[in-house]
């Protein structure tokens, strides 16, 4: 098995920076902001032929309460599943009380602990070694993660330990199967739904809005099928986004939408649908992703309120009739199991292989029943169609004056293709292309006989005009 390395330490000691350095990515958010990372973040790295999985964890203080308690549970879960624990400290800060408390927690775990002193640039190496050796985890490894100094040597020496068996078959961890992104406003229950779908407390859930700050990828298997769940940060209205951290979180959420196969948009039943929900919906539609709508916190609402919410959803979501609507309670699990069939159906529709003959049959029938309108007295001609892509399905329609096709007629064709192809949960993108004139830019040269005929015709017309004037 490939070794698993957990990064543990106080906030802002450089765990996420080292994570990005080892995975050669920017998957973990990095900023001079304590407590930025809250959930486990997984990544794969390789140094000197040694492959490994690295797990970034939230910063610990040693005395956790509230949301910090949930972060501690996530960090300890990472420690439990790891082969190595990198206990990271800040060389510039020296040994702190928080480091002492974390060291005490780690001593109780039956794990190989590697002490890593980060941010050694500008520090006295001898002083750093003597300062942190008192923890009893051996001499610290000195690194500067932001510059990559000492990182390769750290991995090489750590993986050379006898307890780490690197000769076994290597199994990569990577997003697999259907990738499902869960999006929504802060505190609508995204992380609760992710944990419910996984059947474990995988991500931090807390009543504080904005608990999730990063996009967390969680591969899992269900009934022999591979899935990857993506828990995203809640996106607030632009005017309320003030912290730089939150702005980066929004970027990560938008990236997760683009990377997903299926997007689950979560709504709060007790608040109804608001403008920010529609903005999030537009992000998913712009990306062309298969879509499910999950109305959460459905339990405890009286029947009259439920009927009112359904009427509001029917009125405001008429433009996404293809999306499946689910009423769930992520906290209690009601209705959650029905999401999986809809996810499979939406994914199958989004990746469906469509024959050209089938598309042309649908196009011809649609045009026959409802022809395109006239443009400047000329009829738009749509000749044939072909498939050009999947996720979402892209249909290219060829013809004349295609640039003049009005939006209502485009929507008519989209609905016809969705209905006739039996697509559920996915939009359809139409691209219109006009045929090129092979004679454009070419001068029509007349033959000698045509030139003589033209001269006789001109002479005839002139003579006819003279006779008419004499009369």
Give yes or no for residue 237 having a pLDDT over 70. no
Q: In what order do the strands lie in the sheet with 4-9?
A: 41-47, 50-56, 4-9, 84-90, 112-118, 141-142
Please give the average per-residue pLDDT across 391-416, as a whole number: 92
Domain boundaries, the chain: 4-159, 178-350, 356-434
Task: Inform me whether the pLDDT recorded for 238 exceeds 90.
Answer: no
Percent of the chain with pLDDT over 90: 27
- Looking at per-residue pLDDT, the higher value among 14 and 210 belongs to 14
CB burial string 29-57: b at 16+ within 10 A, e below: bbeeeebbbbbbbbbbbebeebebbbbbb
In this prediction the pTM is 0.58
Q: Are 135 and 114 in contact (CB under 8 A)?
A: no
Task: Please give the C-alpha separations between residue 437 and each of 322, 400, 442, in angstroms, as whole numbers.
Answer: 38, 10, 10
Q: What is the DSSP secondary structure assignment for residue 118, as one 8-state letter?
A: E
pLDDT for position 338: 92
- Residue pointed to by tokens 């992703």: 289
pLDDT at 71: 61
Q: Coil, strand, or helix at residue 211? A: coil
> Ramachandran region of residue 469, left (φ > 0), alpha (ψ -120 to 50) or beta?
alpha
CATH number of 356-434: 3.30.300.20
Answer whether residue 326 shows pLDDT above 50: yes
- pLDDT above 50 (res 111): yes
pLDDT grade, residue 35 (50/70/90)?
A: very low
The pair of structure tokens assigned to 430 is: 């139409």
What DSSP line would sit under 151-201, residue for residue? HHHHHHHHHTSTT---SSPP------SEEEEEEESTTSSHHHHHHHHHTS-
Average pLDDT over residues 283-302: 89
Residue 249 has pLDDT above 80, yes or no: no
Q: Residue 229: its pLDDT value, please?
A: 87
Distance CA 224, CA 293 (A): 25
The model's confidence at residue 30, banded by pLDDT at 50, 70 and 90, is very low
Q: Residue 186 and residue 181: Cα distance in Å, rounded?
A: 15
β-bridge partners, 182:
231, 264
| CA-angle at 72, arms to 215 and 227, nearest 5° | 35
- Across 185-278, the runs of DSSP E, i.e. the strands, are 216-222, 225-231, 262-268
Round the average pLDDT of the chain to a whole number and report it.
Answer: 80
Which range, 44-48, 50-54, 229-233, 462-466, has the best average confidence (pLDDT)? 462-466
pLDDT at 212 > cutoff 80: no
DSSP-based three-state secondary structure for 63: coil
pLDDT at residue 360 is higher than 80: yes
Q: Radius of gyration (Cα) for the chain, nearest Å?
A: 32
What percentage of the chain exceeds 70 in pLDDT?
A: 80
pLDDT 10s digits, 406-461: 999 999 999 999 999 999 999 999 999 987 655 566 777 788 898 899 899 999 98
Per CATH, 178-350 and 356-434 having the same topology is answered no
Given a cut of 90, whether residue 389 has pLDDT beyond it is no
Q: How confident is the model at residue 235 (pLDDT cuts 50, 70, 90)?
A: low
| pLDDT tens profile 184-209 | 888 888 888 888 888 766 544 434 44
Adjacency order of strands within the sheet including 381-389: 381-389, 394-400, 429-434
Residue 195 CA to residue 336 CA, distance in Å, equals 11
Query: What pLDDT is stored for residue 236 in this prediction?
Result: 46
Closest CA to 98 of 147, 38, 35, 189: 35
Q: Cα separation of 85 and 106, whole Å?
A: 9
Question: What DSSP string describes 394-435?
Answer: EEEEEEESGGG--HHHHHHHHHHHHHHTT--S---EEEEEEP
The token pair that represents 257 in the structure block: 């939408």
Residues 56-75: what's their mean pLDDT?
62
How far is the C-alpha of 305 from the C-alpha of 303, rounded, in Å? Answer: 5
Q: Residue 118 above 80 pLDDT?
A: yes
Contact 13, 88 (CB under 8 A): yes
Bond prior to 185 in cis (omega within 30° of 0): no
- Residue 97 CB neighbours (<10 A): 11
**Domain 4-159 has what CATH class?**
alpha beta
pLDDT at 107: 85
Please report the pLDDT score of residue 163 as a whole number.
54
Q: What is the pLDDT of residues 156-187, one digit of tens each?
A: 888 876 555 544 433 444 456 899 999 888 88
DSSP alpha helix (H) spans, 288-405: 303-316, 339-350, 356-369
Residue 357 banded pLDDT, cuts 50, 70, 90: very high
DSSP for residue 135: G
Q: What is the mean pLDDT of residues 367-375?
A: 91
In the predicted model, is pLDDT for residue 62 greater than 80? no
Which is more confident, 290 or 76? 290
What's the confidence (pLDDT) of residue 239? Answer: 44
Burial 189-200 (b: 16+ CB within 10 A, else e): bbbbbbbbbbee
User: Which one is predicted more confidently, 435 or 8?
Assistant: 8
Neighbours of 249 (CB within 10 A): 23
Separate counts of helices (H) and strands (E) for the chain:
13, 17
Distance CA 380, CA 256 (A): 39
CATH topology (fold) of 178-350: Rossmann fold (3.40.50)
């Amino acid at each position: 098995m490939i070794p698993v390395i957990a990064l543990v330490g106080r906030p802002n000691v450089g765990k996420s920076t080292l994570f990005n350095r080892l995975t050669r990515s920017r998957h973990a958010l990095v900023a001079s902001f304590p407590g930025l990372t809250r959930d486990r973040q997984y990544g794969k790295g390789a140094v000197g032929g040694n492959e490994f999985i690295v797990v970034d964890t939230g910063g610990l203080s040693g005395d956790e309460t509230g949301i910090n308690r949930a972060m501690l549970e996530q960090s300890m879960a990472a420690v439990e599943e790891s082969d190595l624990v990198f206990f990271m400290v800040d060389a510039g800060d020296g040994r702190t009380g928080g480091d002492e408390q974390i060291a005490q927690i780690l001593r109780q775990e039956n794990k190989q602990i590697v002490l890593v002193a980060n941010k050694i640039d500008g520090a006295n190496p001898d002083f750093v070694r003597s300062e942190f050796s008192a923890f009893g985890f051996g001499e610290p490894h000195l690194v500067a993660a932001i510059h990559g100094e000492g990182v390769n040597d750290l991995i090489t020496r750590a993986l050379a330990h006898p307890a780490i068996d690197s000769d076994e078959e290597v199994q990569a961890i990577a997003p697999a199967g259907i990738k499902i992104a869960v999006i929504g406003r802060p505190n609508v229950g995204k992380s609760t739904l992710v944990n419910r779908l996984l059947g474990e407390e995988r991500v931090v859930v807390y009543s504080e809005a904005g608990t999730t700050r990063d996009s967390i990828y969680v591969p899992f298997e269900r009934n022999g099928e591979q899935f990857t769940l993506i828990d995203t940060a809640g996106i607030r209205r632009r005017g309320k986004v003030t912290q730089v951290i939150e702005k980066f979180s929004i970027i990560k959420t938008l990236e997760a939408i683009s990377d997903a196969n299926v997007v689950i948009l979560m709504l709060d039943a007790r608040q109804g649908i608001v403008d920010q929900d529609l903005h999030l919906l537009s992000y998913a539609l712009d990306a062309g992703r298969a879509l499910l709508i999950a109305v959460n916190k459905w339990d405890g609402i009286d029947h009259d309120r439920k009927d009112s919410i359904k009427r509001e959803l029917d009125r405001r979501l008429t433009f996404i009739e293809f999306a499946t609507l689910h009423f769930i309670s992520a906290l209690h699990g009601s209705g959650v199991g029905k999401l999986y069939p809809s996810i499979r159906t939406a994914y199958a529709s989004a990746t469906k292989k469509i024959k050209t003959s089938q598309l042309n049959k649908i196009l011809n029938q649609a045009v026959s029943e409802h022809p395109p309108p006239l443009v400047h007295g000329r009829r738009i001609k749509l000749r044939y169609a072909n498939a050009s892509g999947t996720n979402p399905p892209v249909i290219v329609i060829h013809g004349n004056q295609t640039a003049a096709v009005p939006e209502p007629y485009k929507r008519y064709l989209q609905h016809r293709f969705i209905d006739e192809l039996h697509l559920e949960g996915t939009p359809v993108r139409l691209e219109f292309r006009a045929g090129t004139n092979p004679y454009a830019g070419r001068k029509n040269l007349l033959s000698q006989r045509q030139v003589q005929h033209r001269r006789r015709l001109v002479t005839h017309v002139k003579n006819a005009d003279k006779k008419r004037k004499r009369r």
